[in-house]
């Protein structure tokens, strides 16, 4: 046998290479820079440079894209405007997330435990804290996750899909476990997220195996070709398709594959929640889009009801359970489930418009999510002695926040309004384009359910606004809450707030950019 | 086509031990059974003309992965038993039903499918695998590197405790010991009265007082220690013989 | 001058606005502004009348265009006045009697702190009443119609610090509004059928309309007329309306406003001509009300309420006449005019009595006042004779004609209507005589606190003028059918049918009955002692004292169920309509509470939901897809 | 051409920003600033009215079109026809009065600044909505307006204001979101492109009957909630009871008109077939609203709730007028929208003044005030009489136009609605009776202040305007005649087609 | 014998692995169930690879093997962290996150 070196089109992969390369460098930094503080700075700068650089590279790629895009390595990867759009989105979330990862309280505390291996409450933990240890590995881990997600949006091969899924999942599992406070919850969340994540990726893999078995190919194009020419393997194809889709629905957090969401969101350190909530959903949506359009489009009719049912179930369950939550992060988690439903509404009937609507939807949703969780990092409990503790995430603790910190509360209100889809926020335009996509394929009853769910969902968003602005600080609780100040987190809040407003008022440029991205490079590879 | 006998052997070798996942109480038993399953799968790979993969399976799974499992099991305590009684109402039956249903569906789906088997056997030898790996799948391989790095970093972050306290010199250790009033050198050996079983008799310090902690705590707990007083008395009064006791 | 008739409305209106806005500084002299405005209107009216008399009878209808009111494209309506003999009659009545009552009120209301406001309201009334009669369209008429209602409301409730007076005012307005529904719907019908609301277009279109359409319109107009003119079944407010100061009762609730219903019917003559059924209904309602009012009047001890019942009864006569068609129109208006004089005079007399008796209104506390108040006695007596229909006083000329006309017709109708009119004359004689004798004759039954005395000249002079009118106006106008001819351009020339009985027989019968009624009254209330408290009475008397239980009926049929309905609805709105929304919200929350239990924190349960979901999905997709 | 409409939308919005930007010390002057801004706005409205070409009232004038989000086919397209003109004048008129009426509210400067800024913001949205010529723009403003209102209700007012605010928001949002489905669906029925949402491009579309009817219903539901029709009215009494009278005045007098305005300019104009189809049922609900609202008004103790229910009744009449589809009834309804704004605005203001004096809206706590404050009593009575549509005041003209005009199309409905005329007399007069008649109050209650000059400035112009329009309604009817004609023509062409 | 039978075998093993996750409270055993599922997928891949006469399935299995190994490392890391904190690896124990 002979071996010829494969031709790889490296140029389109530049953004990816930058991020993954940076992550490798960051690991080396871990090994060679001893002082935690220096290490942290180095990591932060490195991450930001890499992410921004990658985003720049992606934009350059976008501008110089030759034709519809590039298929790398015989259909393993496809870089087209759609994938570049998603990559930029994920890079934005990655950048904002990194800023949050690096943010500290006034007292100089990070969001992450100083020593992951120490038992909560042990002397080791105290010692590690006192010595100023830091788990700066979170930065390379985040970089790997970003890289994996970018990959996830671009892969056009089932096996690569699986690998990419693991690339971004594994770091997230670890990151979830690294909270500084409430570490029991953090561990619990990580364990659940991990077990269920592994479980779902096994399902996805098994589905991929079926598809491979039925079509003899793992590349999307090959699968699509196999589906159109299948004889006697329909059941296998359908079962495989369903399992692959279920694996992705898990990552989107759609009912009934949603159960990990509240627990992981609540348990994870808030910066991780923010990053995960925004980026994972975007990446998984992108991957699902590509799988559905590039590989499983032939099963559109067979799978459409799946999207209908899952969308309705997600919207309703997410909404009704969020209604009764008293824990803020958990409430937002359930809201994210409802939003998963809204996302899936656009999948009904697989209209072309979904390809440009969903990036916008996820952009608006992701920005608001990042912003909301960034605000959460800034509101903290204070002990009787005046020491600042963890985040105040019980709803009641937010009473009167509008008086304590009008700008912060105002930003939070803006994000909530965006979640609720009130006009002049990005969320409204997102909902509008997503619903448009669904209605264009005739799924207006689904949209009707969606708006009813939105109306009900508005209740719990508004409840928080009522608490912040229309309720007074409870008697005797004036000192129980500390408004923290971290320049980095505040930057994230400000940036996301401005973007949410801008995308709500003048979404035109972004919409047309995504319109350009609304074309998939199909049919290449074997 | 594959050997039917081989299939049934493999089937038995995998399914039966796999059932221990559901019914065995001790995690160690489960782990050992899964090792068997892995071996069975390796055999299946070989049968399915993937000999290299079969070898890798044995090396990676039985050799590394399952050993890692066992290692962790040892770490958390081998005799952590699990009560098989279900605590969530209905979970067991619905769970069994759901899993069985899932299996049944998958099997029935496969049963419904007519899929021809190619006459050509895939070449699963190392060279063919290597060429495939580094040709079309080279990017995957490269990305896999990140999976592995992540795994390593993740494991480190979660389990590795760096040296939090400075390493003590021997001098410091000694000083600390003296400071807390520990024995300057070694703990004295029991049994100054080397008679029949001197371990139950405390040693004597230079002043002749018994050093109580020289006797093993186990014996103390079992109340099998000797005061030593009577031996001394016997020494001072030779008329008293051991046999007198 | 005819083109300046808008001044008739504008002057009193401006005066009213001025008086209301002027504030306390006008308190001392404001009432004279009111009197002046009313007098000015009278002068304007008089000049216009003279001018009109100078015209040929067919040229007497004069349209005055004021301004474009509603330029609706489809509904195009100009505000304009129709000055013709009918409206001119009303103008004269309203301004003349109105001015007299203004003068009277200057003295009557002398001690009231809000006299200025009172005059403003009076002026407002005069303006609205004139607008009502001068309007050239139903819609503009409606403006005046509601305007007099408002003035009536304000004046009845003038002393609204007494809660029952405020209630009486509300009652008057609300009952009137029920009538207004009729007018609104009539306008709706007209607009639907004729596409117009002005008299000219409507009447022009009448010949093309079907009888059913005209009947519907006619009946709706009748409802309106019943409300305003206190005809059955909307008569209940009039008695309570006596809560207002007595001049108000004289002007509004005797002479002018309450007759607006008659005006409406007569004005709408072309419509009723085409709708015999509606016409008959008008007559029937009139006949019924005249008996009803007379019966009520027989039992009342409150002098003003007795007079109010009498008004109701007399308007019944007018309605009856108006319901007879062209034969009766002129007599209806004729009686309206004479009634305006003698009833206003009697009300003013009653006011004078009250003025002298410390606002006492119970006739059982009066008696023998003829000596204390001679002028009042005389003027009142002339009114009494007029209403009894004793020749040659005014009432005789108008009422007798109506009774006679009621006997014209076929079948049983003349017997019923004529009979009612005839009996009514007897009853009238009884209750009016009762009133007169109880007040001015018999023994004095007042207490020491009261010192009956004659009223000042400002009050007696108007009374005298009205009494003169009561005495001679009928004679003057009836001579040579002057009045009937005057109205002919509006009411049309009536073919004088023959009554079923000879006219002389009817007249004799009437006079006999009147004499009988008066004689009985004298026996019971003039010659005999009148108990100071009302004696226990028969069921019929109790019924009459209670206005034939109309209020009880209203209360039982409308008010109480209405209150219950309202309360039920208030409750239902909170419990059901709002409750449904709350329940939905609650159901959402409940569902949330239940659903969150499935998130039980156990990984294997989470995995189970996933597997169950997966199994179902595979099942349906694969089965469905095959 | 001078973009007067854009300026009119931007000016109050900028005013709101200015207020928020005021430094702490300058906030004491916030009222004057807000009043100045709204006064300029009123002047602009008058200019707008004066410049408006009445002979072409049916077509959009002062049109401006700028690309906004061409990607989804929406543009910043403003323009007014006669109906929009009236509504804009109404908004511009009532906002400064509301500010004046609430002059005494809030001791705290910063709180007051917030209140005024929110009022200004609401005004900007209102005017934008009435001027919008683009369905998407209309929708965006329609929904975005909820936010300032939500805070106006929830932050400033009575004990249960938070509940009221949430109720208001959820009702409106529920309607609005369903309308969103309609908006999107309409887009796909339309021509698409850069200006897909321009109403011009959406009128006379050739849609399937089902689609048209469904989209119509989506729109109509939103508008029915806004112009509270039974049974989706319950938010209004709650809000009225708990919000400030000034807020409620603006809300009911102007904002709720968006409901009827939307019915006229969107529901009927864009979906004539469906409007024609649904008219009988809508008229049924309109009549129910008339009677139900009036009966509930009679049953209220709280004056603010009472006024709210009277509005439910009046909105019923407007809806009846619109969906009777006769020239006169539609004109009447459009004219009524303006008159009702004057009348109810004044009513809320005057009730607010009473509450300011007595500290309660409970009507049973009052009595005999006419003896103490005759001017206030008289003013109240006139305003009350306008609510019962007394002739001479402009609401009469419009109400009679609706009733008389609608008669040919919906006899039974008009007959039943006419009962509302009596009920209106009851709720107005009973209230007047309870508050102002009876024995004069004694003690502290007798020391009630007469209507102050500022309060007169608020109320009397409204009364004067009602009187003027009562006698010369042509001023306003000229503006609505042609739009009404167009609407009726559109619908009747459907009738002919069917 | 048709290699498809190996796919059936793989399906059964997959179901057993899933059942382990559904039924077992010991985190390590549940995790082993997941591993079994992955291996079942591998078996299916290899069997299909044999049926298609191509090597791709095997390559995929190879990747899965690697990924699974990495996953085991991370998973066990988390389990150890949980054990250190709570001295137990029962999945019933940490159930503070719920509702």
Four-residue CA torsion sign, C120, C126, C129, C134: negative
- Enter the tokens of residue C317: 């006569």
A166 reaches B (C-beta below 8 A): yes
Q: Which of C599, C600, C604 to mutate to test the interface with B (most CBs of B within 10 A)?
A: C604
Q: What is the mean pLDDT of residues A314-330?
A: 93
Chains with 3 or more CB pairs closer than 8 angstroms to D? Answer: A, C
Q: What is the mean pLDDT of residues D41-46?
A: 95
Beta-carbon separation of B49 and E50 below 8 A = yes
- Enter the tokens of residue B120: 């050509």
**Of B171-180, C277-286, D419-428, which gets the smallest average pLDDT?**
B171-180
- Enter the tokens of residue C9: 């409305």
Q: What is the mean pLDDT of residues C264-291?
A: 90
Torsion of CA C246, C247, C252, C258, to 10 degrees: 50
Q: Quick one: pLDDT at residue D445?
A: 76
B146 reaches A (C-beta below 8 A): yes
Q: What is the 3-state secondary structure (H, E, C) of C517-577?
A: HHHHHHHHHHHCCCCCCCCCCCHHHHHHHCHHHHHHHHHHHHHHHHHHHHHHHHHHHHHHH
Helix (H, G, I), strand (E, B) or coil at D2: coil
Burial of D153 (0-12, 13-18, 19+ CB in 10 A): buried
Beta-carbon separation of E22 and C596 below 8 A = no
Which among A27, A166, A235 has the least Cβ separation from residue B113? Answer: A235
Distance from CA of E45 to the nearest CA of B (A): 10
Burial of D385 (0-12, 13-18, 19+ CB in 10 A): buried
Q: Is the pLDDT of residue D330 over 80?
A: yes
Which among D69, D155, D174 has the least Cβ separation from residue A469? Answer: D155
Neighbours of C476 (CB within 10 A): 12
Beta-carbon separation of A199 and C624 below 8 A = no
Q: Which residue has the tokens 């609430």?
A: D102
Neighbours of C493 (CB within 10 A): 11
For C495-515, how does the pLDDT look when each residue is reduced to its tens digit (9 = 90+)?
A: 667 778 888 888 888 888 888
Q: What is the mean pLDDT of residues D465-479?
A: 91
Q: Quick one: pLDDT at residue C501?
A: 80
CA-wise closest residue to C19 among C37, C5, C6, C7? C37
Q: Quick one: closest CA in B to E47, which residue?
A: B48
For A349-400, how does the pLDDT look when each residue is reduced to its tens digit (9 = 90+)?
A: 888 889 999 999 999 999 999 999 999 999 999 888 888 888 999 998 999 8
Bridge pairing between strands D74-80 and D61-69: antiparallel
Mark whether D and B touch (3+ CB pairs within 8 Å).
no
- Enter the tokens of residue D256: 């709720």
For D160-178, how does the pLDDT look when each residue is reduced to its tens digit (9 = 90+)?
A: 888 899 889 888 988 998 9
Beta-carbon separation of C608 and B94 below 8 A = yes
Q: Which of C602, C609, C618 to mutate to test the interface with E (most CBs of E within 10 A)?
A: C602
Q: Quick one: pLDDT at residue C348?
A: 87
Q: What is the mean pLDDT of residues D332-361?
A: 91
Beta-carbon separation of A508 and D161 below 8 A = no
Distance from CA of D188 to the nearest CA of C (A): 30
Distance from CA of E34 to the nearest CA of A (A): 6
Distance CA C187, CA C224 (A): 11
Q: Quick one: pLDDT at residue B196?
A: 56
Q: Is the pLDDT of residue B245 over 50?
A: no
- Enter the tokens of residue B36: 């068997």
Chain D residues near residue C244 by CB distance under 8 angstroms: none
Distance from CA of C563 to the nearest CA of E (A): 50
Q: pLDDT grade, residue C625 (50/70/90)?
A: very low
Stronger pLDDT, E64 or C554, i.e. the higher one:
E64
For E14-38, how does the pLDDT look when each residue is reduced to its tens digit (9 = 90+)?
A: 999 999 999 988 899 999 999 999 9
Chain E residues near residue C604 by CB distance under 8 angstroms: 21-25, 30, 91
Cis-peptide, bond into residue C233, ω within 30° of zero: yes
The number of C-beta contacts closer than 8 angstroms across C and E is 31
Q: Quick one: pLDDT at residue A524?
A: 43
ipTM: 0.89
Query: What backbone torsions phi and psi does residue A78 show, to the nearest 5 degrees?
Result: -130, 125
Q: Which residues contact A291 (CB under 8 A, 6 or more apart)?
A: A161, A220, A244, A245, A248
Which among A120, A170, A213 has the least Cβ separation from residue E44? Answer: A213
Distance CA C210, CA C223 (A): 20
**If contacts are CB pairs under 8 Å, which of residues 219-278 in chain A contact chain B?**
232-233, 235-236, 239
Four-residue CA torsion sign, A495, A501, A503, A509: negative
Distance CA A168, CA E67 (A): 12
Four-residue CA torsion sign, A452, C619, C599, A182: negative
Q: Quick one: closest CA in A to E31, which residue?
A: A195
Distance CA C224, CA C176 (A): 8
Distance from CA of B163 to the nearest CA of E (A): 17
**If contacts are CB pairs under 8 Å, which of residues 255-284 in chain D contact chain C?**
none
Chain B residues near residue C600 by CB distance under 8 angstroms: 88
- Enter the tokens of residue C322: 């108006």
**If contacts are CB pairs under 8 Å, which of residues 324-343 in chain A contact chain E?**
325, 330
Q: What is the mean pLDDT of residues C57-86?
A: 86
Beta-carbon separation of C625 and A242 below 8 A = no
Distance from CA of B109 to the nearest CA of E (A): 9
What b/e string do you get for C273-285 counting C-beta neighbours within 10 Å, with b at 16 or more? Answer: bbbeebbbbbbbb
Beta-carbon separation of C615 and B95 below 8 A = no
Q: Which residues contact A67 (CB under 8 A, 6 or more apart)?
A: none
8 Å CB contact between C325 and C266? no
Q: What is the mean pLDDT of residues C89-111?
A: 88
Q: Which of D368, D378, D381, D407 to mutate to test the interface with C (most CBs of C within 10 A)?
A: D407
Domain layout of chain D by residue ranges: 4-497
Domain layout of chain B by residue ranges: 1-81, 125-160, 170-244
Q: Is the pLDDT of residue C572 over 90?
A: no
Neighbours of B244 (CB within 10 A): 7
Neighbours of D35 (CB within 10 A): 16
Distance CA B145, CA A144 (A): 11
Q: pLDDT grade, residue A494 (50/70/90)?
A: very high
Distance CA A25, CA C286 (A): 109
Q: Which of A161, A189, A197, A202 to mutate to test the interface with E (most CBs of E within 10 A)?
A: A202
Crossing angle between the packed helical segments C503-521 and C374-388, to the nearest 10 degrees: 140
Chains with 3 or more CB pairs closer than 8 angstroms to B? Answer: A, C, E
For D57-72, how does the pLDDT look when each residue is reduced to its tens digit (9 = 90+)?
A: 888 999 999 999 888 8
Q: Quick one: closest CA in E to C612, which residue?
A: E22
8 Å CB contact between D354 and D362? no
Q: pLDDT grade, residue A100 (50/70/90)?
A: very high
Chain A residues near residue B151 by CB distance under 8 angstroms: 170
Q: pLDDT grade, residue B81 (50/70/90)?
A: low
CA-wise closest residue to D307 among D260, D358, D344? D344
Beta-carbon separation of D184 and A428 below 8 A = no
Mark whether D and E touch (3+ CB pairs within 8 Å).
no
Question: Can you spell out the DSSP letters for B9-72?
Answer: HHHHHHHHHHHHHHH-SBHHHHHHHHHHHHHHHHHHHHHTT-HHHHHHHIIIIIIIIHHHHHHH
Q: What is the mean pLDDT of residues E69-77?
A: 94
- Which domains are delineated in chain E? 4-86 (1.10.287.3510)
8 Å CB contact between C380 and C366? no
For A270-290, how does the pLDDT look when each residue is reduced to its tens digit (9 = 90+)?
A: 999 999 999 999 999 999 999
Chain C residues near residue E95 by CB distance under 8 angstroms: 600-602
Q: Quick one: pLDDT at residue A142?
A: 96
Chain E residues near residue C596 by CB distance under 8 angstroms: 99
Q: What is the mean pLDDT of residues D212-222?
A: 93
Q: Which fold has domain B1-81?
A: 1.20.120
Distances (CA, A) of E63 to A7, B129, B216, C250: 21, 12, 55, 110
8 Å CB contact between A257 and C615? no
Distance CA A137, CA A143 (A): 10
Helices (H), B113-161: 126-134, 138-159
Q: Is the pLDDT of residue B227 over 80?
A: no
Q: Is the pLDDT of residue C397 over 50?
A: yes
CA-wise closest residue to A23 among A111, A88, A73, A98? A98
B201 reaches E (C-beta below 8 A): no
Distance from CA of B28 to the nearest CA of C (A): 21
B33 reaches E (C-beta below 8 A): no
Four-residue CA torsion sign, E85, E86, E89, E94: negative
Beta-carbon separation of D300 and C570 below 8 A = yes
Distance CA A486, CA A481 (A): 16
Q: What is the 3-state secondary structure (H, E, C) of E29-94?
A: HHHHHHHHHHHHHHHHHHHHHHHHCCCHHHHHHHHHHHHHHHHHHHHHHHHHHHHHHHCCCECCCC
Q: Quick one: pLDDT at residue A491?
A: 95
Chains with 3 or more CB pairs closer than 8 angstroms to E? Answer: A, B, C
Distance from CA of C616 to the nearest CA of B (A): 9
% chain D with pLDDT above 90: 54
Question: Can you spell out the DSSP letters for D144-157?
Answer: HTHHHHHHHHHHSB
Q: pLDDT grade, residue C479 (50/70/90)?
A: confident
A243 reaches C (C-beta below 8 A): yes
D353 reaches A (C-beta below 8 A): no
Neighbours of C66 (CB within 10 A): 16
């Amino acid at each position: 046998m002979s071996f010829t070196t494969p031709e790889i089109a490296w140029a389109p992969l530049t953004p990816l290479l930058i991020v993954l390369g940076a992550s490798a460098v960051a690991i080396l930094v871990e090994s060679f820079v001893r002082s935690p503080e220096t290490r942290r700075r180095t990591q932060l700068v490195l991450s930001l440079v890499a992410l921004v650089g990658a985003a720049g590279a992606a934009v350059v790629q976008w501008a110089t894209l030759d034709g519809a895009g590039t298929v790398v390595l015989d259909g393993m990867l496809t870089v087209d405007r759609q994938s570049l759009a998603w990559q930029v989105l994920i890079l934005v979330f990655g950048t904002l997330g990194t800023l949050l990862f690096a943010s500290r309280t006034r007292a100089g505390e990070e969001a992450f435990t100083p020593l992951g291996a120490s038992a909560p409450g042990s002397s080791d933990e105290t010692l590690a804290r006192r010595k100023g240890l830091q788990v700066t590995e979170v930065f390379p881990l985040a970089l790997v996750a970003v890289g994996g997600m970018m990959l996830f949006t671009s892969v056009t091969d089932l096996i690569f899909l699986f690998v990419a899924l693991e690339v971004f999942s594994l770091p997230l599992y670890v990151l979830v476990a690294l909270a500084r406070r409430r570490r029991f919850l953090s561990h619990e969340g990580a364990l659940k997220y991990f077990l269920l994540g592994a479980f779902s990726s096994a399902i996805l893999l098994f589905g991929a195996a079926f598809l491979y078995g039925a079509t003899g190919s793992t590349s999307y194009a090959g699968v699509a070709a196999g589906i159109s020419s299948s004889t006697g393997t329909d059941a296998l194809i359908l079962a495989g398709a369903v399992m692959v889709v279920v694996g992705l629905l898990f990552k989107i957090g759609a009912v009934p594959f949603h159960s990990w969401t509240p627990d992981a969101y609540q348990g994870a350190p808030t910066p991780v929640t923010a990053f995960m909530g925004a980026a994972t959903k975007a990446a998984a949506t992108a991957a699902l889009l590509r799988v559905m359009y590039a590989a499983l489009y032939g099963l559109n009719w067979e799978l459409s009801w799946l999207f209908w049912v899952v969308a309705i179930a997600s919207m309703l369950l997410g909404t009704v359970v969020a209604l009764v939550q008293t824990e803020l992060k958990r409430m937002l988690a359930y809201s994210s489930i409802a939003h998963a439903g809204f996302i899936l509404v656009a999948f009904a009937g697989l209209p072309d418009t979904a390809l440009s609507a969903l990036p916008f939807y996820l952009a608006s949703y992701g920005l608001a999510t990042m912003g909301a969780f960034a605000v959460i990092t800034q509101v903290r409990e204070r002990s009787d002695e005046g020491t600042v503790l963890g985040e105040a995430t019980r709803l009641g603790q937010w009473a009167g926040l509008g008086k304590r910190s009008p700008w912060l509360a105002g930003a939070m209100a803006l994000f909530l309004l965006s979640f609720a889809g009130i006009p002049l926020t990005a969320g409204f335009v997102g909902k509008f384009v997503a619903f448009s996509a669904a209605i264009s394929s005739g799924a207006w009853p689904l949209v009707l359910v969606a708006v009813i769910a939105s109306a009900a969902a508005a209740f719990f968003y508004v409840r928080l606004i009522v608490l912040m602005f229309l309720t007074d600080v409870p008697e005797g609780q004036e000192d129980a809450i500390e408004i923290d100040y971290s320049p980095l987190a505040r930057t994230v809040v400000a940036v996301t707030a401005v973007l949410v407003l801008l995308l709500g008022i003048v979404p035109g440029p972004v919409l047309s950019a995504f319109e350009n991205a609304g074309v998939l490079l199909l049919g290449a590879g074997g | 086509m594959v050997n039917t006998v081989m299939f049934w052997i493999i089937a038995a070798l995998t399914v039966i031990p796999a059932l221990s996942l559901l019914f065995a109480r001790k995690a160690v038993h489960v782990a050992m059974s899964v090792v068997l399953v892995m071996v069975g799968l390796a055999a299946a790979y070989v049968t399915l003309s993937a000999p290299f993969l079969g070898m890798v399976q044995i090396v990676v799974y039985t050799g590394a992965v399952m050993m890692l499992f066992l290692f962790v099991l040892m770490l958390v305590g081998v005799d952590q038993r699990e009560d098989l009684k279900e605590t969530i109402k209905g979970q067991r039956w619905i769970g069994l039903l759901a899993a069985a249903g899932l299996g049944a569906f998958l099997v029935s789906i496969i049963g419904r499918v007519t899929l021809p088997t190619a006459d050509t056997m895939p070449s699963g030898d190392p060279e063919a695998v290597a060429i495939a790996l580094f040709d079309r799948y080279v990017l995957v391989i490269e990305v896999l590197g990140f999976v592995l790095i992540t795994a390593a970093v993740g494991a480190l972050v979660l389990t590795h405790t760096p040296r939090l306290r400075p390493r003590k010199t021997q001098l410091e250790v000694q000083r600390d010991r003296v400071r807390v009033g520990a024995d300057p050198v070694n703990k004295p050996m029991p049994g100054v009265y080397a008679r029949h079983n001197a371990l139950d008799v405390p040693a004597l310090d230079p002043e002749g007082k018994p050093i109580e902690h020289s006797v093993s705590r186990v014996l103390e707990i079992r109340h099998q220690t000797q005061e030593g007083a009577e031996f001394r008395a016997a020494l001072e009064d030779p008329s008293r013989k051991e046999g007198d006791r | 001058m005819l083109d300046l008739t808008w001044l008739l409305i504008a002057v009193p209106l401006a005066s009213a606005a001025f008086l209301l806005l002027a504030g306390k500084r006008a308190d001392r002299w404001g009432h004279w502004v009111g009197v002046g405005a009313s007098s000015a209107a009278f002068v304007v009216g008089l000049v216009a009348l003279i001018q009109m008399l100078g015209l040929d009878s067919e040229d007497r209808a004069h349209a005055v265009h004021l301004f474009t009111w509603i330029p609706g494209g489809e509904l195009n309506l100009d505000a304009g006045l129709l000055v013709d003999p009918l409206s001119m009659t009303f103008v004269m009545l309203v301004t003349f009697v109105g001015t007299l009552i203004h003068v009277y009120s200057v003295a009557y209301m002398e001690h009231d702190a809000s006299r200025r406001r009172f005059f403003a309201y009076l002026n407002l009334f005069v303006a609205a009443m004139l607008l009502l009669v001068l309007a050239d369209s139903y819609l503009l008429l409606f403006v005046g119609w509601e305007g007099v209602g408002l003035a009536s409301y304000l004046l009845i409730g003038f002393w609204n610090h007494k809660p029952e007076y405020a209630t009486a005012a509300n009652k008057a307005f609300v009952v009137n509004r029920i009538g207004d529904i009729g007018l609104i719907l009539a306008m709706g019908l007209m607009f639907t059928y004729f596409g117009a609301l002005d008299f000219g277009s409507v009447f022009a279109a009448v010949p093309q309309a079907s009888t059913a359409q005209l009947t519907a319109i006619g009946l709706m107009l009748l409802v309106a007329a019943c409300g305003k003119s206190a005809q059955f079944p909307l008569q209940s407010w009039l008695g309570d309306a006596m809560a207002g100061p007595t001049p108000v009762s004289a002007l509004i609730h005797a002479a002018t406003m309450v007759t607006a219903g008659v005006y409406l019917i007569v004005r709408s003559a072309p419509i009723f001509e085409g709708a015999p059924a509606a016409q008959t209904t008008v007559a029937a309602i009139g006949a019924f009300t005249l008996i009803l009012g007379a019966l009520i009047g027989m039992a009342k001890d409150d002098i003003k309420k007795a007079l109010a019942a009498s008004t109701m009864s007399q308007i019944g006569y007018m309605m009856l006449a108006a319901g007879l068609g062209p034969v009766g129109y002129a007599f209806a208006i004729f009686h309206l005019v004479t009634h305006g004089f003698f009833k206003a005079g009697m009300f003013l007399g009653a006011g004078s009595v009250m003025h002298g008796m410390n606002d006492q209104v119970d006739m059982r506390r009066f008696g023998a006042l003829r000596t204390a108040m001679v002028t009042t006695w005389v003027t009142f007596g002339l009114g009494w004779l007029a209403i009894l229909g004793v020749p040659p006083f005014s009432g005789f000329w108008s009422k007798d004609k109506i009774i006679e006309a009621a006997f014209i017709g076929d079948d049983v109708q003349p017997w019923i209507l004529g009979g009612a009119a005839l009996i009514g004359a007897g009853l009238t004689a009884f209750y009016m005589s009762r009133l007169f004798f109880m007040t001015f004759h018999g023994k004095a039954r007042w207490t020491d606190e009261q010192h009956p005395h004659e009223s000042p000249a400002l009050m007696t002079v108007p009374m005298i003028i009205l009494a003169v009118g009561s005495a001679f106006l009928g004679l003057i106008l009836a001579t040579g059918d002057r009045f009937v001819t005057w109205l002919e351009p509006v009411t049309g020339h009536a073919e004088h049918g023959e009554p079923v009985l000879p006219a002389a027989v009817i007249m004799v019968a009437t006079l006999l009955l009147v004499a009988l009624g008066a004689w009985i009254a004298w026996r019971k209330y003039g010659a005999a002692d009148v108990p100071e408290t009302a004696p226990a009475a028969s069921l019929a008397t109790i019924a009459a004292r209670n206005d034939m239980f109309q209020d009880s009926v209203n209360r039982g049929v409308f008010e109480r169920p209405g209150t219950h309905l309202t309360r039920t609805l208030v409750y239902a709105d909170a419990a059901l309509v709002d409750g449904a929304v709350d329940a939905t919200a609650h159901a959402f929350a409940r569902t949330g509470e239940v659903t969150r239990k499935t998130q039980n924190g156990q990984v294997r349960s989470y995995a189970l939901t996933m597997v169950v979901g997966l199994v179902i999905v595979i099942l349906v997709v694969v089965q469905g897809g095959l | 051409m001078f973009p007067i409409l854009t300026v009119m939308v931007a000016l109050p919005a900028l005013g709101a920003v200015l207020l928020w930007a005021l430094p702490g010390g300058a906030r004491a002057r916030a009222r004057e600033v807000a009043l100045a801004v709204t006064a300029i706005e009123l002047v602009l409205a008058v200019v707008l009215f004066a410049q408006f070409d009445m002979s072409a009232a049916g077509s959009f004038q002062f049109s401006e079109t700028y690309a906004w989000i061409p990607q989804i086919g929406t543009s910043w397209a403003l323009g007014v026809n006669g109906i929009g003109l009236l509504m804009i004048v109404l908004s511009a008129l009532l906002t400064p009065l509301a500010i004046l009426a609430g002059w005494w509210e809030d001791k705290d400067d910063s709180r007051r600044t917030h209140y005024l800024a929110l009022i200004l913001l609401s005004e900007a949205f209102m005017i934008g909505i009435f001027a919008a010529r683009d369905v998407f723009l209309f929708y965006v403003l329609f929904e975005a307006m909820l936010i300032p209102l939500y805070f106006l209700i929830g932050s400033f007012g009575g004990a249960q204001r938070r509940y009221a605010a949430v109720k208001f928001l959820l009702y409106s949002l529920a309607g609005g979101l369903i309308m969103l489905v309609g908006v999107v669906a309409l887009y796909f029925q339309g021509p698409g492109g850069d200006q897909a949402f321009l109403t011009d491009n959406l009128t006379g579309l050739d849609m399937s009957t089902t689609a048209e009817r469904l989209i119509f219903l989506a729109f109509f539901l939103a508008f029915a909630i806004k112009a509270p029709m039974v049974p989706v009215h319950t938010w209004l009494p709650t809000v009225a009871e708990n919000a400030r009278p000034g807020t409620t005045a603006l809300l009911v007098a102007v904002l709720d008109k968006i409901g009827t305005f939307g019915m006229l300019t969107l529901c009927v104009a864009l979906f004539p077939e469906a409007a024609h189809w649904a008219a009988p049922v809508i008229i049924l609900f309109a009549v129910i609203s008339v009677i139900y609202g009036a009966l509930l008004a009679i049953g209220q103790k709280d004056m603010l709730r009472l006024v709210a229910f009277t509005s439910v009744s009046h909105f019923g009449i407007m809806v009846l007028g619109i969906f009777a589809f006769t020239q006169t009834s539609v004109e009447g309804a459009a004219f009524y929208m303006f008159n009702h704004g004057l009348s109810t605005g004044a009513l809320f203001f005057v009730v607010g003044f009473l509450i300011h004096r007595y500290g309660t809206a409970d009507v049973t706590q009052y009595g005999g005030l006419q003896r103490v404050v005759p001017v206030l009593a008289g003013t109240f009575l006139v305003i009350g009489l306008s609510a019962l549509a007394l002739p001479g005041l402009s609401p009469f003209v419009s109400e009679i136009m609706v009733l008389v005009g609608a008669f040919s199309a919906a006899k039974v409905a008009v007959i039943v609605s006419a009962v509302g005329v009596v009920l209106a007399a009851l709720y107005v007069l009973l209230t007047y009776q309870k508050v102002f008649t009876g024995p004069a109050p004694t003690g502290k209650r007798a020391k009630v202040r007469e209507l102050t000059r500022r309060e007169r400035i608020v109320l009397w112009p409204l009364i004067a305007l009602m009187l003027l329009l009562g006698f010369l309604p042509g001023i306003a009817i000229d503006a609505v005649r042609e739009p009404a004609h167009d609407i009726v023509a559109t619908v009747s062409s459907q009738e002919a087609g069917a | 014998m048709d290699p498809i039978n190996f796919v059936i075998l793989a399906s059964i093993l997959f179901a057993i692995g899933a059942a382990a996750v559904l039924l077992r409270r010991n985190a390590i055993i549940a995790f082993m169930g997941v591993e079994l599922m992955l291996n079942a997928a591998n078996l299916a891949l290899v069997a299909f690879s044999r049926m298609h006469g191509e090597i791709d399935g095997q390559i995929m299995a190879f990747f899965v093997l690697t990924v699974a190994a990495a996953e085991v490392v991370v998973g066990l890391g988390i389990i150890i962290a949980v054990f250190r904190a709570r001295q137990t690896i029962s999945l019933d124990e940490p159930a503070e996150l719920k509702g």
